[in-house]
Amino acid sequence: MALVTALLLALGPVAWAVGGRLAAWGTLGLCGLGSLIILIFLLAGAPPQTLSVPFGLAGQPSALALDGVSAWFMLLLMLVGAAASAAMLDEAAWPTSPAMPVFVGAMALTLLAGDAFALVAGFELMSLASFILVLTDHRSETTQAAARLYLGMAALSAFCLIAALALLAGHGTSFAAMRAHPPEGWRAWVVLALVLIGPGAKAGLVPLHVWLPPAHSAAPAPVSALMSGAMTKVAIYVLIRLLFDLAGPAQPLWWAGPLLVMGIASAVLGSFRANMEGDIKAVLACSTVENIGLITLALGLAMAARAADISALASLAMAAALLHILGHGLFKSLMFLGSGSVLHHAGSRSLERLGGLMQRMPITGACMLLGAACLAGLPPSAGFASEWLLFQSVLASVRLGGLGLQILVCVLAATLALATALAACAAIRLIGVALLGRPRSAGAAEAMEAGPPMRWALLLTSLAVVSIGLFPGAVLGLAEPALGLLSNAGMSNRAGILLITPVAEQPGYPPVAVLALLGLAGAAIAAVLRARAATGYRTGPAWDCGFGAAFADPRGQYGGGSFAQPLRRVLGPALMDAHDSLDMPAPGDTRAAIYAVHMEDPAVAYLFRPVAASRAWLSTQADLMQFLTVRQILVVMASALVLFLAFVALVEQL
């Protein structure tokens, strides 16, 4: 695996030198090979591997390690990497960037890291490579703005991650040394906060999720797929590694609090914003925020159950998190690749310019429909299986603590259901407006099906998604080592090939049986129809209550804005400060009336704008320094020196 990673990293410069499609072909080959190695590793139940490599901090080797947890994420990374690079082969649609293999390789390095140095190196290389990839279309103003915001967030992540690792690495930078000396007292607080801000921002947790929609919209579709499907999960991996593994075997109960709160906030805000965005890739990015929220929520429950020493519940919640990580990584990649195909062949990302693509792009359409069913959490899809596990762990977690916690769990349950229902609404809106109905622009009316590489990427990813949906228990079997490491208990007695249950020996969710039931019911209906009903059909203009002529313009259909209007009116004021304004000219005035909708993400309104404003204020204040006289400047310098010396003396004293 280390070899595959090294080759991926090396492929970047080589592909840059050679040019052409080498980067995409090479990534595809290496990711395919990597998936095979990881599958064999997981199926064989091999023990954790470690490797020392001669690159590290001055004079020291650096350690690489592969255990159950990193192998699970590596499997996802390799599958998504293969799908994205296969789609990248569609040369006409995207320029093949040499940063692509470096991006995948850097993520692999992060997952393989066995000490702080390798982890930071991989994480930073990953940020850098993805920054270059976001800038692919660097001539556009919006892309530049998105990339700047992304770089700022990446710098914040890096700062927090390095600081957190420094606090953990008091007795050596290797993971083993950190594990042996878990943080205590104020260090634990600070580590938790730094991890939630650093890798949390990279994963897209509220309130640091603002970079996702612009960055995902700006990047080419395979890159968005990698960022959403794999990179946010790598950030979650770092979060799990630091909080669940390196911070010691048990944490106090309150550690779960921030995870639960940030998780549920991300889930609700992300899924609501997904209903409001008008750009299909921004919709998908917001839905990523929601799903990261669900994963974090499950992690929070696992953390709480670990603190209460209920390993059965901890493993249930952890299984929900891991299954959702794999499932979401794959079906979100599927959706992003599909959206790229739509963008390239129908010429727009805007919901208001699409429509009617299901007939013209049947394969892309069907694959996106499958992805949307997963996003909406409909049985028997992959999304339903993991959300079912998550709901079951929420149900079981009332036994964790006193009345206060129980009421919190109860509210959590309702909010979680709200978030998943909002996600379903967003998925229906996305498919209904973008792929169904009548085309809203000439580009959409003349759309063609995607080329063979993209079709294969979509179909194979769909196959993986379907198999996770139908055999979640078997897939969880692969996560058994990870579950053992993270929650001291497995799911082997509760996750079989045909059934997953929250408690052993109890009824649960049998996906194959549900599918069989649906198949039988469908067959019975088809038989009755064949025997009794009239055959064939005629086509004619839509009836539309006789209003067909009045709404003949395709823009008379429901669009993205109108579909979400009831939700915006009911939930918008509370969640995103939504309000309408009407600028009506006076009678006789010939200018146009303007009806506008105003909405703002609370994170922008209450966090980013105040921070930006205070930065501007600080720089204005600092500007005053330039106008000081020579004497005043000397006074400032001298006092700064005195203060610094005093500080040093004070620190020496302590």
For residues 290 and 270, is the Cβ–Cβ distance under 8 A? yes
What distance in Å separates the CA atoms of residue 181 and residue 72, rounded to the nearest whole number? 26
Q: How far apart, in whole angstroms, are the C-alpha atoms of residue 344 and residue 582?
A: 36
**Sole binder of another protein in the list 261, 378, 497, 604 (CB under 8 A):** 378
> What gap in Å lies between CA 126 and CA 119, rounded to an integer?
11
Cα separation, 340 vs 89, in Å, equals 13
Kindly state the smallest distance separating residue 555's Cβ from another protein, in Å: 11
Stretch that binds another protein, among 108-116, 239-247, 298-306, 526-534 (CB under 8 A): 526-534
Contact with another protein (CB under 8 A) among 54, 185, 540, 588: 540
Beta bridge partners of 64: 51, 113
User: How many angstroms separate the most distant Cα atoms in the chain?
Assistant: 102
Q: Give dist(CA 560, CA 562) in Å, integer.
A: 6
Stretch that binds another protein, among 165-173, 243-251, 277-285, 547-555 (CB under 8 A): 547-555
Exactly one of 369, 474, 603, 607 binds another protein (CB under 8 A); that residue is 369
12 binds another protein (CB under 8 A): no
Binders of another protein: how many residues, by CB under 8 A? 93
98, 218, 200: which is closest to 153 by C-alpha? 200
Helix (H) or strand (E) holding 162: helix 141-168
Minimum CB–partner distance for residue 455 and another protein (Å):
18
Yes or no: say if 591 and 613 are a contact pair by the CB < 8 Å rule. no
Shortest distance (Å) from residue 169 CB to another protein: 39
Q: Is 521 in the site for another protein (CB under 8 A)?
A: yes
Q: Which is nearer to another protein, 513 or 613 (by Cβ)?
A: 513
CB-wise, 199 or 439, nearer to another protein?
439
For the chain, the straight-line distance linking the first and the last C-alpha, in angstroms and rounded, comes to 47
Which positions from 203 through 232 interact with another protein, judged by CB under 8 A? Answer: none
Shortest gap between Cβ of 92 and another protein (angstroms)?
Answer: 26
Q: Does residue 20 interact with another protein by CB under 8 A?
A: no
Binding segment toward another protein, per CB under 8 A, in 189-197, 245-253, 515-523, 579-587: 515-523
Smallest gap, in angstroms, from Cβ of residue 547 to another protein?
A: 7
For residues 357 and 338, the answer to whether their CB atoms sit within 8 Å is no
Residue 203's φ and ψ, nearest 5 degrees, are -75, -25
Interface map 412-451 toward another protein (x if CB under 8 A):
-xxxxxx-xxx-xx-xxx-xxx--xxx-------------
Nearest alpha carbon to residue 481 among 20, 33, 67: 67
Torsion from C-alpha of 133, 135, 138, 143, nearest 10 degrees: 130
Q: Is the peptide bond before 207 cis (omega within 30 degrees of 0)?
A: yes
The reply to whether 411 sits near another protein by the rule CB under 8 A is yes
Measured on CA atoms in the order 339, 343, 348, 353, is the torsion positive or negative?
negative
| 355 binding another protein? (CB under 8 A) | yes
- Of 2-10, 101-109, 162-170, 541-549: span binding another protein (CB under 8 A): 541-549
106 is a contact residue toward another protein (CB under 8 A): no
560 sits near another protein (criterion: CB under 8 A):
no
Is position 541 an interface residue for another protein (rule: CB under 8 A)? yes
Shortest spacing between CB 66 and another protein, in angstroms: 36
